[in-house]
Structure 1
């Protein structure tokens, strides 16, 4: 009798825990969706920045080019978007500002060694 009670208790706990996990997961997904909607412009701007910085022919993009294509942001706001997108800044000898994705550093180094 005690074993049966213990098994039912264990089964109830597992089912209850599973339901609780499922509900929390659903709530998290809904909250994330709401946050994305509230900050839609920034999410899309990051996606657009990644698109330009992932171009197969260019590992680097000038800040001016990115600014031209991602209009509507002041310079520092755009720099924050680029950092959130995973980019790093570099200054060239002429003082111009260039950005590249950190994930493409190996490709950049390889390209530099081959040229």
Structure 2
């Protein structure tokens, strides 16, 4: 009876240790693959980070496409628009035909600023 319990206990402990080892190795492999992809597409990752930086500015909820294009040089216009969308931004066309971009995460802030301007 004792040998059966010890065998069962050994099997359970071995399974847990094996499973944890497998999980840790897979996680390390996944993290390494993510780093490799980020390095491979470093320009695009950094462009998205820079776009978020400009669109998160405290004073401005919107940025003109021209401003973004000047600060994120080296990209064709349509490629820059794709980067802005990946960064979480939406395009807004103004009445004068100019193109502006705003982060979706700042929509409430934008609406609140519009409301406060109309009540002043």
**TM-score, scaled to structure 2:** 0.94
Structure 2: how far apart are the matches of 1:10 and 1:63?
60
Structure 2: how far apart are the matches of 1:32 and 1:70?
24
Deviation at 1:3, TM superposition (A): 1.6
Structure 2: how far apart are the matches of 1:103 and 1:31?
29
Structure 1: how far apart are the matches of 2:39 and 2:85?
21
Q: Please point out which of 8, 14, 31 is paired with 2:10.
A: 8
Partner of 2:83: 81
Structure 2: how far apart are the matches of 1:68 and 1:54?
17
Partner of 1:28: 30
For structure 1, the 5+ residue unaligned runs are none
After superposing on structure 2, the runs of 4+ consecutive aligned residues of structure 1 that deviate more than 6 Å are none
SS in structure 2 of the partner of residue 3 of structure 1? helix
For structure 2, the 5+ residue unaligned runs are none
Deviation at 1:45, TM superposition (A): 0.3
**TM-score, scaled to structure 1:** 0.98
Partner of 1:110: 112
Report how many residues are paired.
115
Structure 1: how far apart are the matches of 2:116 and 2:93?
21
Post-superposition Cα deviations, 1:38-97, rounded to whole Å, max 9, x if no partner, equal: 000000000000000000000000000000000000010000000000001110001111
**How well do the aligned residues superpose, as a CA RMSD in angstroms?**
0.5
